Chains A and B, each alone.
Chain A
Amino acid sequence: MSWEPVIGLEIHVQLKTRTKMFCRCPVGFGAPENTQTCPVCLGFPGALPVPNRTAIEWVVKLGLALGCQIAPRAVFARKNYFYPDLPKGYQISQYDLPSCTNGNVIVPLPDGEHAVGIVRAHLEEDAAKNTHVGGRSGRIGGADYTLVDYNRGGTPLVEIVTEPDIHSAEEAKRFLQLLRQTIVELGISDAEMEKGTLRVDANVSVRPEGSNELRTRTEIKNMNSFSHIARGIEAEVERQVALWESGGKVEQHTYDFDVATGILTARREKEEADDYRYFPEPDLVPVEPPPELVDRMRAELPELPAERIRRIAETLDHERALVLVTGGLDALWHETVAAGADGMAASNVIANQLVGAGVDPASVSAAELAKLVGARERIPRKVFDEAIGKVGDAGFAAEPYLAQEAVSDAGALEPIVDAVLAANPAQVEQYRAGKDGLLGFFVGQVMKETRGQADARAVNELVRAKLGSR
């Protein structure tokens, strides 16, 4: 029996507005506890919410970027439950009438494009921060007491819910990379999982390949990176398939995934099911985005990542396109190619060497980089690497580096090649016996001997010639 994973994602994006969603307390990290609070976000008696205009504009912008319909009338709703990090005893969110619905994100995959439906995107406020003290440190079980800091409480969040249109862990990862890139380019959030400005929960089920059914799904929470998520999904899919195949049944649970051990742990069952008793927030009036606002947000949209991947993939291949765009490198790539560099070579240099050297793409002169790319085969590797390391510096010029030709004169190289071959008779034997890969070894040895000054291609030819026909 062949099984297909059915995955939906629930994503929370913390918006980088200056103030909170329903009060004008400043938002930001690092302030001493409870110093970014007011009667509203503390839930004092009589306090009332006032929405943040920028947050409202940004959810429209995000909705447009996700291909959503912008609701002509969006209504805030109360989600009622009790927890120390929820001062009012309810969270102001959106329920029946969210800001955005019915979108889709095209995820370019090696085997073609795949659309992932977006059910909705809505605005809500973040909870405060609980710190559990005593007991085993960091773990909730066995805590002696809890301390609450309301600084984070009230920060604007956008919750995005996808359709269960994702069918592999890899696809989930690509979708998230694309989504994150989009969000960052819109300028509405830093969307970093490590910092908690992007949070992802996965809903996972499986079904027999080819069927349309939707079986019981489970939820995996608290994953800290895209890789973590992919592995968690894989582990859960495996678990579910094993369960079905052994005649068992998947039960609805929420799991935590420990990426170090690969173990999924079911959370404690709650005493009773949540009943959030949603109802329209009577302290707030509906949001009816004027056409002017929607048009303005639409005009502010950059060309979206999926589009750009598609375009670049026409010249390069899909994988390279994905890497360039999701790394925020494609603008530089376009400029470098426009300045005369070969597309493939430029892509390799930018995605590998440039990134590896930690250079900020925005600081690079494309024209100079193009020169370097063009000279990559010709100049010594060491010189090239040094140049790449500095290419982001102000006023960088490629010229001095280009002047250094790699040694390609056979006369200079031949003795060194001979010496290397003589010093490694075993490898010569193996090469002659058919182990072609050792060519790289010999070339590498020569490069080492010449401290990177040799022209790799010339060395390659020489070694081949010396080892001759077999």
Chain B
Amino acid sequence: MAITRDQVVHVARLARLDLSEEELARLTGELGAILDAVSKVSELDLADVPPTSHPLDLANVWDEDVPHDALPLDDVLRNAPSAESGMFKVPPTV
């Protein structure tokens, strides 16, 4: 189950990874081999088998609508790479 370079480029875009040419080439090969191995799951006919999202059979876990203390602003921004006026600063979106 090879994966094409174009597909790898597309996936890298979705995942927001700015891969180098070298990485793209290498990953195309590696992912192809891994996909080959994991595609094994499609050998099984599982039309009647429900999927498992959780190993535990839990439902209805929730919390009362009662406020907790918010984080102090200092803590919020403590690890911020860039901040201004109490907000996180990032380059423009366009």
Residues facing A in B63-80 (CB within 8 A) are 63-68, 70-71, 73, 76-77
CA distance A34 to B80 in the complex (A): 12
B94 in the interface, Cβ–Cβ < 8 Å?
Answer: yes
CA distance A76 to B73 in the complex (A): 30
Q: Is the CB of A37 within 8 A of B63?
A: no
Q: Given the known inter-chain contacts A36-B70, A288-B60, please indicate yes or no for A148 contacting B90, CB distance below 8 A.
A: yes
Q: Given the known inter-chain contacts A33-B87, A280-B53, please indicate yes or no for A24 contacting B59, CB distance below 8 A.
A: no
B92 in the interface, Cβ–Cβ < 8 Å?
Answer: yes
Chain B residues near A26 (CB, 8 Å)? 67, 70
Q: Is the CB of B89 within 8 A of A147?
A: yes
Cβ proximity bits A18-34 to B, threshold 8 Å, 1 near / 0 not: 11000111100000111
Q: Nearest chain-B residue to A275 (Cβ)?
A: B14
Contact of B87 among A34, A50, A275 (CB under 8 A): A34
A56 in the interface, Cβ–Cβ < 8 Å?
Answer: yes
Q: Is the CB of B94 within 8 A of A141?
A: yes
A316 in the interface, Cβ–Cβ < 8 Å?
Answer: no
Q: Nearest chain-B residue to A289 (Cβ)?
A: B60
Contact of A18 among B14, B16, B54, B66 (CB under 8 A): B66
Q: Nearest chain-B residue to A285 (Cβ)?
A: B58
CA distance A130 to B87 in the complex (A): 10
Q: Is the CB of B60 within 8 A of A130?
A: no
Q: Is the CB of B64 within 8 A of A53?
A: yes
B81 in the interface, Cβ–Cβ < 8 Å?
Answer: no
Q: Is the CB of B65 within 8 A of A52?
A: yes
Q: Is the CB of A51 within 8 A of B67?
A: no
Cβ proximity bits A206-227 to B, threshold 8 Å, 1 near / 0 not: 0000000000000000000000
CA distance A286 to B61 in the complex (A): 8
A146 in the interface, Cβ–Cβ < 8 Å?
Answer: yes
* Chain A contact patch, size range: 35 or more
Q: Given the known inter-chain contacts A19-B65, A148-B88, A272-B13, please indicate yes or no for A38 contacting B71, CB distance below 8 A.
A: yes
A35 in the interface, Cβ–Cβ < 8 Å?
Answer: yes
Contact of A143 among B60, B86, B92 (CB under 8 A): B92
Chain A residues near B7 (CB, 8 Å)? none
Chain A residues near B16 (CB, 8 Å)? 82
A132 in the interface, Cβ–Cβ < 8 Å?
Answer: yes
A266 in the interface, Cβ–Cβ < 8 Å?
Answer: no
Total interface residues on B, CB under 8 Å, equals: 34
How close is A319's CB to chain B, nearest CB, in angstroms? 40
Q: Nearest chain-A residue to B54 (Cβ)?
A: A285
CA distance A28 to B71 in the complex (A): 16
Residues facing B in A124-164 (CB within 8 A) are 130-132, 134-135, 140-141, 143-150
B5 in the interface, Cβ–Cβ < 8 Å?
Answer: no
How close is A52's CB to chain B, nearest CB, in angstroms? 5
Q: Is the CB of A25 within 8 A of B68?
A: yes
Contact of A35 among B54, B64, B73 (CB under 8 A): B73
Q: Is the CB of A39 within 8 A of B87?
A: no
How close is A13's CB to chain B, nearest CB, in angstroms? 16
Q: Is the CB of B14 within 8 A of A277?
A: yes
Q: Is the CB of A145 within 8 A of B89?
A: yes
A42 in the interface, Cβ–Cβ < 8 Å?
Answer: yes
Q: Given the known inter-chain contacts A34-B87, A288-B60, please indicate yes or no for A19 contacting B66, CB distance below 8 A.
A: yes
Q: Nearest chain-B residue to A280 (Cβ)?
A: B53
Q: Nearest chain-B residue to A284 (Cβ)?
A: B61
Q: Is the CB of B68 within 8 A of A84?
A: no
B18 in the interface, Cβ–Cβ < 8 Å?
Answer: no
Q: Is the CB of A24 within 8 A of B67?
A: yes
CA distance A141 to B67 in the complex (A): 38
Chain B residues near A285 (CB, 8 Å)? 54, 56, 58-61
Assuming A19-B66, A146-B92, A287-B60, what are 15 further A-B pairs, CB within 8 angstroms? A18-B66, A24-B68, A25-B67, A33-B85, A33-B87, A52-B65, A131-B87, A135-B92, A144-B92, A147-B85, A147-B88, A285-B58, A285-B59, A286-B60, A287-B62
Chosen A-B contacts, 13 in total, with CB atoms closer than 8 Å, are A19-B67, A33-B86, A34-B76, A35-B86, A36-B70, A38-B68, A51-B63, A54-B65, A145-B89, A268-B94, A271-B13, A275-B14, A282-B53
User: 8 smallest A-B Cβ distances: which pairs?
Assistant: A54-B65, A147-B87, A143-B92, A26-B67, A24-B68, A285-B58, A280-B53, A53-B62
- B residues with a Cβ closer than 8 A to A are 10, 13-14, 16, 53-54, 56, 58-68, 70-71, 73, 76-77, 84-94
